[in-house]
A and B are shown apart, each in its own frame.
Chain A
Amino acid sequence: MQRFILSRKNHITLINAFLIVTAFVSKFALGNVELFNWALIIASVVGVAPIAIQAYQALRVKVVSIDVLVTIAVVGALLINNYEESAIVTFLFLFGAYLEQRTLTKTRSAIKELTEMAPESAWRQTENGEFEEVDIDEVDVGDILLVKTGAKVPVDGTVLTGEGHINEASITGEPIPVSKKANAQVYAGTILENGTIQIVANRVGEDTTFGKIIELVEEAQDSKSEAERFIDKFAKYYTPAVLALAIIVWLVSQDIELAITILVIGCPGALVIGVPVSNVAGIGNGARNGILLKGSEVIHDFSRVDAVIFDKTGTLTIGNPQVAETEFYAGNIDEVLSYLASVENESDHPLAKAVVEYVGDTKLHPVENTVVVKGGGIIANVNGRRVAVGNVSLMEQENVPMNEKVREDIARFEQNGNSLVLTAVDGELKILMGIRDRIRPGVKENLQRLKDLGVKKLVLLSGDNQGTVDLVAHELGLTEAHGNMLPQDKSAYIADLQSKGQIIAFVGDGVNDSPSLVQADIGIAMGSGTDVAIETSDVVLMKSDLGRLPHALGLTKATTSNMRQNIVIAVGVVLVLLASVFFSDWMNMSIAMLVHEASILVVILNGMRLLGYKL
């Protein structure tokens, strides 16, 4: 009986609405007051049934829920013959719950999309060697599975036979399919775009990488921040308190109408739902954009971040120094270039490699009497000519004349963040080259966006030598850059900043930087969603480019302010209602319920805005 009523809540709402309309038609069109009253009484009784059942169930587990307040209010209204109010309140409450359900489904849609990507069945090899389709839950480690073209890989496994291209976007965020042959690792939730493969299951269900991502997101959307736990506790005592207040008001004023109006006003609807709604919408937006945020605590911390630390030069640069600018001064350029390449070919200095690469195919000459000048460059004899390759101080040491124009070029190259390589033949300057590590496309803009979003410090901690690190820092306008850092130095550096009260985000690849990821207030793992990254970090950027970082930061800021707005709306509504019941005469139960349901919808709709958040 109970379940029958509850499962037909939507029908009940309809009947309830129909009866209320009938009542008002009969009163105002037909002038039949008796029918009016009876229709409303029936509407109230029908409408309150599911609410009362829920209230009863709640009381059985010692919870004073909203249903309890509403049920008492409706029964009270019936007892004082205020049928109009009792009927309308039940309708509003039921209809509100219906709308709440509809809008909540929308809010949760982003994460649902993700969980629906989970594979549901697999083709498993039977004892006679054939394949049969089984439910994903039945697959065990060690099973041999067939994956057909267009199907989802059901488990994490190793390819036994066959080959094909797999779209791994659900794990790595990379949209370009990867070729997989025998012995390659494949991941659950990825899609075989062409070919057929047989795999052996290594990890199944929740243990797969995709399973872990889903679990993480699901737990994250329900994780509670400090503020939320407070609200929960508050709500636990709040509803009984409202009940007590209503009873006191009744005893003191002997006014039942006022007492039950207070019951309705006191419903904490928007307050309990406001924060979770922002949370789920924010995390949902992230999941859709390849950003996994581990819960509302992370959102809160990240939104207040002071400094972002990058773990290596490679995150920011392509990691391959190249000749970026050149100036030729005189003479036979090709000849000089071939001398230069001949000399540099003997060296394994990173700058020399860049030079050789730049010159490309050329005639190499025998090199004699090579002298390496420490911190300067190389001097050697090529074809009987004295060739000096190195920096400005080597040229000065060699007494190579440098005119005004050359000095200006040097200044400009340095300004652009280049390391300089000068070439002189027989004491005459021939070529000036500027070499730098190319910054990854978009990095500069993304760092600027982070600054615009209020990040005060951008720091690079790298294992590279200080020179390389300085170059990058200079070109990107980083606040600080430290080279020659070991993993433990990095986490010590973070701890030091934290002791000064700063909130630190650390961007790493999640493997060798676990200590720093853990030490930082917000550990951000960039790159594919590997297990280690998922476990040790607070934020996972599925794609290995910095482009997601500003979006992630902006999203957390938008989410926190959205939560604040919702709390203000919820508390504000209760305060305004309470004030008007005591200090004005237009307030009654129906209006209070209407305002309440409206405020619940407002906070849900407000939260939903986050789904469309874009930076």
Chain B
Amino acid sequence: MPKATIQLETLTCPSCMQKIDGAVKSLKGVEKDSVNVLFNSSKVKLNFDDEKISIEEIEKAITTLGYEVKKSQVKDK
């Protein structure tokens, strides 16, 4: 499964984390246990199944919540 590191705009409220966490986990194809929202470094790390979902779709889910995605990196594992 590819591993994605998504850099977001600076997060300032801890409840943002809950929202992003919830939103990303609810996506099909994202491995739930791998989702890690880093509050202080404003990053989301996760593993996903690239046959079921694309990195763009994951980014879109975060953007619709109102958080800007600055950059994302995908590494094949």
Contact surface of A with B, Cβ cutoff 8 Å: 2-3, 6, 53-54, 57-58, 60-63, 65-67, 97, 100-101, 104-105, 108, 111, 115, 137, 218-219, 221-222, 235-236, 272-273, 276, 280
Contact = CB atoms under 8 A, between A and B. Distances in A.
B19 interface: yes
Contact of B19 (A57, A115, A219): A57
Nearest to A103: B12
B74 to A, nearest CB: 11
Contacts of B40: 108, 111, 218, 221-222, 276, 280
21 contacts: A2-B66, A53-B66, A57-B65, A57-B66, A58-B15, A61-B19, A61-B26, A61-B65, A63-B19, A63-B22, A65-B15, A65-B19, A66-B13, A97-B12, A101-B10, A104-B10, A108-B40, A222-B36, A222-B41, A276-B14, A276-B39
B25 to A, nearest CB: 9
Nearest to B75: A206
Contacts, number: 67
Interface in B1-21: 10, 12-15, 18-19
Nearest to B15: A65
Interface string B13-53: 11100110011001000000000101111010000000000
Interface of B: 10, 12-15, 18-19, 22-23, 26, 36, 38-41, 43, 63, 65-66, 73
Contacts of B12: 97, 100-101, 104
Contacts of A137: 73
B66 A272 contact: no
A54 B67 CA distance: 11
B10 A97 contact: no
A213 to B, nearest CB: 13
A273 B19 CA distance: 15
B41 A221 contact: yes
B23 to A, nearest CB: 5
A273 B11 CA distance: 12
Contacts of B14: 235, 272-273, 276
B23 A61 contact: yes
Contact of A236 (B18, B23, B26, B73): B18
A218 B66 contact: no
Contacts of A101: 10, 12
Counting from the closest, the 10 A-B pairs by CB-CB distance are A61-B22, A65-B15, A222-B38, A101-B12, A272-B14, A218-B41, A221-B40, A280-B40, A63-B18, A6-B66
